[in-house]
Amino acid sequence: MAKINFGGVEEDVVMREEFPLDKAREVLKNETIAIIGYGVQGPGQALNLRDNGFNVIVGQRKPSKSYDKAIADGFVEGETLFSIEEAAEKGTILFYLLSDAAQIAVWPTLKKHLTPGKTLYFSHGFAVTYSDQTGIIPPEDIDVVLVAPKGSGTSLRRMFLAGKGLNSSFAIHQDATGKAREKTIALGIGVGSGYLFETTFKKEVYSDLTGERGSLMGAIQGLFAAQYEVLRSKGHSPSEAFNETVEELTESLMPLVAENGMDWMYANCSTTAQRGALDWWKKFRDAVKPVMDDLYESVATGNEARLSIESNSKSDYREKLEEELAELRDSEMWQAGREVRKLRPRQ
């Protein structure tokens, strides 16, 4: 493992150069990787593994849109595409990539096929960390591992096709065979990771749930909405308010931050923007940090897991979800966004 200095803190990470794809193929040459679930993460990980030369099959409920998508992606019914139970029986490494709620429902079926020496793979620490709520307690005679790409399955696939990699965390929960670590790193390379950094199941889910509710999705939407509403209330047009709130950030500034860091972006904008950003960022940090503390505590106590499980288990979950998404979709800000996207220059 390579030692990398992250702002004065040294971490061990696995780079693709030190664990090349050929080595990963050798480690997993006798394995059958069964992708259980073909929804959010399933397609990206399955296709990347297949394109990288690994033996991949898919298990998915039929009939379903995800089953049809697997067929459209080239998996063949009866050869590389099966029911969940058939795939679980055939696979030696089971990628448990169903939604958290679906994992709870399918667990009794899957558990029957977790025979000694198999590997159970997760991309989220939720099920194992909150086992008191999920009931998911793996048998002791199997390997239980995690590779969590830091992004959506769509992003994982797009970056793979572009010759890039999406960074991933990895963790070993159980090592029954003595080979779990090597297999996990090989799987991380196989799914298309840029580099791999080690964590635990608990730390993965704590950071993931905090991030989703915080800066990645929840907080950013709240920040967008607050600024847009203030600008509109002061007489700015929808186009101006959206461009100054969302479009400039996503289309212009964030790519620069991703490439060079926030300090570089500050250094390469107008002096007026520099002064304002430097004067105000700590005020926003101080205002938001108590909310982040409350959020992390809610994650750590299991409250967020409970709310998620209870919500996802209700029969009308999809209908309620559509209502909540419609609130976003039909808001003036995101209606303005649709129009602004139509006006982007075509290549």
Q: Look at the alpha carbons of 338, 159, 222, 127 in this order and tell me if their dihedral is positive or negative.
A: positive
Residue 154 burial (CB count, 10 A)? 12
User: What percent of the chain stands above pLDDT 90?
Assistant: 95
Q: Which of 178, 199, 220 is the last residue of a domain?
A: 199
| Distance separating alpha carbons of residues 123 and 15, to the nearest angstrom | 19
Three-state DSSP state, 215? coil
pLDDT at residue 318 greater than cutoff 70: yes
Q: Mean pLDDT across the stretch 42-60?
A: 98
pLDDT at residue 347 greater than cutoff 80: no
Same domain, 170 and 194: yes
Same domain, 48 and 157: yes
pLDDT at residue 1 greater than cutoff 90: no
**Measuring CA to CA, how many Å separate 140 from each of 118, 174, 193?**
11, 7, 28
**Measuring CA to CA, how many Å separate 206 from each of 98, 185, 343?**
19, 22, 39
Domain membership flag for residue 328: yes
From the number of C-beta atoms within 10 Å of its C-beta (0-12, 13-18, 19+), residue 219 rates as: middle
Q: DSSP letter for 302, please.
A: T
Of 125, 114, 147, nearest in space to 45 by CA? 147
pTM of the model: 0.93
**Measuring CA to CA, how many Å separate 344 from each of 178, 236, 277, 336, 337?**
54, 21, 27, 13, 11
Residues labelled catalytic: 124
Q: Which of 175, 199, 223 is the last residue of a domain?
A: 199
Report the pLDDT value the prediction gives residue 345, as an integer from 0 to 100.
Answer: 87
Q: Mean pLDDT across the stretch 93-107?
A: 96
Same domain, 191 and 252: no
Domain that holds residue 256: 211-342
Same domain, 266 and 195: no
User: What percent of the chain stands above pLDDT 70?
Assistant: 100
Q: Mean pLDDT across the stretch 326-335?
A: 97
DSSP string for residues in 143-203: EEEEEEESS-HHHHHHHHHTT--EEEEEEEEE-SSS-HHHHHHHHHHHTTEEEEEE--HHH
The count of structural domains within the chain is 2
Domain membership flag for residue 204: no
Same domain, 156 and 294: no
Domain membership flag for residue 246: yes
